[in-house]
């Protein structure tokens, strides 16, 4: 058994695909029509054969209250690893991305939290370089 997929619940798949590719820099890997929606995955250009992120529609009635409650408390349900949180913060903020937490040392890692515009907060993290 291997972990090859993980999901993020998005309020609009087209908007999410734009954000996750154009802004964050991931690449579309799959886009399979599935009735009202599609099965869309993106991958990191640094790991095209790595874990795929599924842009999952948040249409279930329980999904949005769950997401809103997490956002209200500033909780990122999903986290990505980056080489340099400070550099990513600078790049993404310049692209208009809203951060609820700027780069901050949290023990062995530096973290920052941003809004993915699709109803989620996302944490980026990198090891602290001493």
Partner 1 sequence: MDDADALFKALADPTRRALLDALSERDGQTLFELCARMATAHGLTSSRQAISQHLDVLETAGLVTRRREGRYTFHDLDTAPLAPLRERWHHPDERTPR
Site residues, partner 1 (CB under 8 A): 68, 71-76, 100-102, 104-107, 111, 113, 121
Check if the beta carbon of residue 94 is closer than 8 Å to that of residue 87: no
Q: Could you write out the DSSP letters of every residue in 83-98? A: S-HHHHHHHHHHTTPP
**Closest distance of CB 45 from partner 1, Å:** 29
For 5-37, b where at least 16 C-beta lie within 10 A, e where not — what string?
Answer: eeebbbbebeebbebbeebbebeeeeeeeeeee
If the CB atoms of residues 23 and 71 are measured against partner 1, the closer one turns out to be 71
**Closest distance of CB 64 from partner 1, Å:** 11
If the CB atoms of residues 47 and 72 are measured against partner 1, the closer one turns out to be 72
Element at 102 (helix H, strand E): strand 99-106
If the CB atoms of residues 52 and 58 are measured against partner 1, the closer one turns out to be 58
**Closest distance of CB 123 from partner 1, Å:** 9
């Amino acid at each position: 058994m291997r972990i090859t997929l993980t999901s993020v619940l998005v309020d609009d798949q087209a908007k999410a695909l734009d954000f996750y590719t154009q802004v964050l820099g991931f690449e579309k890997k799959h886009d399979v029509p599935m009735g009202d929606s599609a099965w869309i995955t993106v991958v990191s250009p640094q790991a095209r054969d790595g874990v795929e992120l599924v842009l999952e529609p948040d249409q279930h009635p329980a999904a949005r209250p769950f997401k809103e409650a997490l956002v209200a408390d500033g909780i990122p349900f999903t986290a990505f690893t980056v080489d340099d949180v400070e550099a990513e913060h600078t790049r993404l903020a310049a692209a208009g991305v809203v951060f609820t937490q700027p780069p901050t040392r949290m023990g062995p890692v530096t973290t920052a939290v941003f809004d993915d515009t699709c109803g989620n907060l996302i944490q980026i993290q990198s090891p602290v370089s001493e």
